[in-house]
Amino acid sequence: SPFKSKIRVLQSIGRSLRLYSDKIGATIFDIADDVKYLDKHSLVRLRHYHSEGFNVEEISMEEGSIINPFQILSEISC
């Protein structure tokens, strides 16, 4: 479910970043759309990411595109 609360955003990131013995890192995909309130919620979350100092890389997709996270990971700089 979409959310914009700073606490929920940071909790979600914290769960992803939690250390495990065989874990080397985490990449978080925050997928946004321009439907109803989703675009506004996305902008709020983006401000939270920036205010906490997270590295954010935005990628625009064409309408109807299929998202392949492995392809995106190979194209972005980590």
13-67 pLDDT, tens digit each? 899 889 888 888 888 888 888 888 888 888 999 999 999 999 898 888 888 888 8
Report, as an integer, the average pLDDT of 58-78. Answer: 81
Per the CB < 8 A criterion, the answer to whether 16 and 28 are in contact is: yes
Where along the chain do its domains lie? 6-75
Helices 38-51 and 6-17, axial angle in degrees (round to 10) = 60
Report, as an integer, the average pLDDT of 5-16. Answer: 89
pLDDT, position 48: 92
pLDDT, position 77: 59
pLDDT, position 36: 80
